[in-house]
Structures are given as structure tokens and as C-alpha cells.
Amino acid sequence: MLRVLTYQVIAVSLGSASIGAADWLYRRGRIRQRLHDLWVSASSTAICLPLLIWTTGVFLGIGVFSEALIGAIAVMMFLWIYRSLRKVPTDQELDWGTLSCYLSSQPVSSDSLGEDAAEEISYLNGPVSRRPHRQQVEDALPR
């Protein structure tokens, strides 16, 4: 168990450094988004492999079936992460003018909304109470 933990810590350290390097190169324009997405997907998948291999070995044993299962899960994780990263818009595609109302430099407390946000919400949805009552929450839930 200690050996698996050591492998997992090494995988997390190397994977995080690899993802950081990919992000650093991408932000400076040294690599394109597709290579960045592939790199981050491979690194993220590699981080999970030691735990996946150990879990499969404990519950299924060592064999062709468990190796095929590990490979299938790793491929699915890689493709899922890669597909999710491909959906994220690049910096050039973001329109910061329309997003500025959502990005505020001042923190919003959990008890109340900021003045601008509350006005915008009430304009779009009608009046908004600061804290909904239990009955309002229950009425809003689908039945």
C-alpha cells in the first residue's frame, strides 16, 4: 500500500508539473491549443493510472482482462478530458466586454448579492428576495 501511495504521489507531482509546463507554453504562444489539449489530457490521465492499476489488481487480479479494463478506462478518461478541453474557447474567442458584468474585482458575500447583480437579476426574473423561504424552495422543485 505504501508503494502505491509513493507511485501516486510521484504521478501527481510529475503530472502537475507537466500540466503547468503545457499551460505556460500555451499562454506564451509556443504551442497551439490542440497540442496543449492533448498534453493536458495525457498528463491528467497519467495521474490516475497508479490508483487505477492498484484498484484493478486488488479486485480483479493481474491478467489480460484487468489490463484490457485499465486500457479501456484510460482511453475513455483521455477522450473525455480532451473533448471537454476542446469545448473551452481560446483567449482570442472570449468577448471580455460581455463577460465584464460577471467578472467583478470585488468579492460577493454569500449572504447578499451585489447591487448591480441584484438589479440585473430582478430586471430579468422579476423581484428577488434575499433569502428564499422554505416554502418557496419546495414550490420551485419539480414534482
Residue 104 CA to residue 82 CA, distance in Å, equals: 30
* Choice between 22 and 126, residue whose per-residue pLDDT is larger: 22
Beta-carbon contacts of 122 under 8 Å, excluding residues fewer than 6 positions away, are 128
- Where do the domains of the chain lie? 2-89, 113-143
Residue 94 has pLDDT above 50, yes or no: no
Residue 7 CA: distances (Å) to CA of 46, 54, 65, 131? 11, 10, 23, 47
**DSSP one-letter code for 28:** T
pTM for this predicted structure: 0.60
Residue 86 CA: distances (Å) to CA of 41, 65, 79, 123? 10, 31, 10, 34
* Choice between 142 and 56, residue whose per-residue pLDDT is larger: 56
Q: What is the mean pLDDT of the chain?
A: 79
- pLDDT tens for 15-69 read 999 999 999 999 999 999 999 999 999 999 999 999 999 999 999 888 999 999 9
Residue 78 CA to residue 94 CA, distance in Å, equals: 25
